[in-house]
Chains A and B, each alone.
Chain A
Amino acid sequence: MALTRNKLYTFMGIGCGVGATWLIYNYNSYRLNDGFTVCIIKNVTGIPCPSCGSTRAVEALFHGNLIESILWNPFGLLLTSFLVILPVWILIDLIKKRDSLYTFYSLVESYLRQKKYTIPLISLVVANWIWNIYKGL
């Protein structure tokens, strides 16, 4: 079963739903460092993973603190834009019966497979990871 349009949209929809639920659950407690984390890497090794702190970053953004959000984790900005754009795009596609998001997804995937994009992006992720460890999230 290859990834079809409907499957991709269902999957993204569920992802956004779970993400939104997770954010509402953490809405007020995001600054408390109560030691609760779902991250497997952090739980096993004690070292934060590249995306640790992105919940806090997104929450900080929703509270209006842009600088704080970037300091927590720049991935938060990316995740917020996904969380805001994807549901709207999916809805528009479903209503108009088009597959523009699916085409766009395939296009981005084909770009990401090229070395000239892959290597800088991986370096960015690794740099962010080092920063995360340095910050001790």
Chain B
Amino acid sequence: MDAQKVDMFIMTNGKYFESHHLNQIRDRLIALDDSKWSVLQTLQFKDPTTSLIVSILGGTLGIDRFLIGDTGMGVGKLLTCGGLGIWAIVDYFLIMGATREKNFEKIQQALV
């Protein structure tokens, strides 16, 4: 794929991924066929800031984990009152990274 196109994609969607994944994503996109561009454009990523807001408001019910697709963890948080309140607080700090990881998994699955 055209390097310019890839850089444009990285610029607009960079905030959805961990910084140490960006190089890997860029390399894979450059090696990718042009026909995948439309697939790439239709991918929707979860915003880390949104999941942080959800985590602060509904973290004890596990809604943040449900939102990013970690259903099992969400059930765990819901049943234990946010892991006795501790897990909920820990997740204020982890949820943005977890969202970015989920986005990375998503783009990897889409590009296979």
Which residues of A are at the interface with B, using a C-beta cutoff of 8 A? 1-3, 15, 18-19, 22, 38-41, 49-52, 54, 75, 78-79, 82, 105, 108-109, 112-113, 125
Contact = CB atoms under 8 A, between A and B. Distances in A.
A129 to B, nearest CB: 9
Interface in B37-67: 59-61
The size bracket of the interface on B is 20 to 34
A49 B69 CA distance: 22
Contacts, number: 56
A135 to B, nearest CB: 16
A9 to B, nearest CB: 13
Contacts of B13: none
B78 A51 contact: yes
A41 B78 CA distance: 12
Contacts of B79: 51, 54, 75, 78-79, 82
Interface string B59-84: 11100000001111001101111111
Contact of B80 (A2, A51, A105, A125): A51
